[in-house]
């Protein structure tokens, strides 16, 4: 009786796992195909060996970044690992290099912290303008407007205005755009990883399902043959 129960459970669980495995495999394949299609639409080509050498020489990427990029040098970006490598070893590296060139400390090389630095330089500029005799009677709003004019003026003589303008450009043109593109690429990598896990789980479930199903049916056949022989 116990053997019959085990056989029945093996067949049921085996079929269920087989169905789940096939579904997981189909889902994983779909995730990979979808990510590849979306990346293909962006028409991004990974950096070539020549470009990597130039970026390394210029100090825009590190040796570790170069080593990671060389694995996909010159390839069309179609996979999650390519997207992750480009996001973390090319875009992020360039963002860090741009921040360093602007004199931003490593621990403040991010969108939020650079915004705080812009605010700091802007406030210092406002205090500097407010201290001028010709601005003694101006309101805070008028001083703020003067500060904005100086920051927007490429020929300003105020160092605080120059620093604020440089950092604001770095924040909006480099970090905002860079983080947006990195987010898109890392999202693609995340879904690719989900697809990879689904594929691995799918194959594992299929193998286990087949093994359990075979155990149930084969054991049944052997039992039936034994009973026939005994009769």
Most confident of 7-16, 82-91, 212-221: 82-91
pLDDT at 84 > cutoff 80: yes
Mean pLDDT value of segment 98-119:
94
The pLDDT of residue 230: 47
Residue 227 has a pLDDT of 47
Domain count, the chain: 1
Kindly report the pTM of this predicted structure: 0.80
Containing structural domain, residue 109: 2-230
For the cut 50, the answer to whether the pLDDT of residue 229 exceeds it is: no
Average pLDDT over residues 168-176: 95
Q: Does residue 220 carry a pLDDT above 70?
A: no
SS (H, E, C) 159-218: HHHHHHHHHHHHHHHHHHHHHHHHHHHHHHHHHHHHHHHHHHHHHHHHHHHHHHHHHHHH
Of the pLDDT bands very low, low, confident and very high (cuts 50, 70, 90), residue 138 is: very high
pLDDT tens-digit profile of 121-136?
999 999 999 999 999 8
118 has a pLDDT exceeding 80 = yes
Give the lowest-confidence range in 44-58, 169-183, 205-219: 205-219
Note the pLDDT of residue 3. Answer: 66
């Amino acid at each position: 009786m116990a053997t019959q129960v085990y056989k029945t459970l093996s067949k049921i669980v085996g079929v269920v796992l087989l169905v789940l495995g096939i579904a997981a495999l189909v889902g994983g394949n779909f995730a990979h195909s979808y990510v590849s299609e979306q990346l293909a639409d962006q028409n991004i080509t990974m950096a070539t060996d020549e470009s990597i050498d130039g970026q390394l020489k210029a100090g825009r990427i590190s040796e570790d970044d170069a080593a990671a990029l060389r694995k996909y040098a010159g390839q069309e970006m179609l996979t999650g690992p390519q997207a992750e490598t480009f996001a973390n070893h090319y875009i992020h590296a360039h963002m860090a290099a741009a921040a360093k060139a602007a004199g931003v400390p490593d621990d403040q090389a991010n969108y939020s912290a650079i915004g705080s630095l812009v605010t700091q330089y802007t406030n210092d500029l406002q205090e500097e303008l407010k201290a001028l005799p010709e601005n003694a009677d101006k309101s805070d709003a008028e001083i703020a407007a003067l500060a904005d004019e100086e920051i927007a003026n490429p020929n300003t003589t105020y160092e605080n205005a120059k620093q604020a303008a440089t950092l604001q450009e770095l924040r909006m043109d480099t970090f905002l755009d860079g983080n947006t593109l990195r987010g898109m690429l890392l999202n693609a990598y995340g879904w690719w990883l989900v697809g990879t896990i689904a594929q691995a789980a799918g194959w594992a479930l299929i193998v286990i399902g087949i093994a359990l199903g075979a155990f149930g049916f084969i054991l049944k056949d052997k039992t039936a043959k034994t009973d026939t022989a005994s009769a």
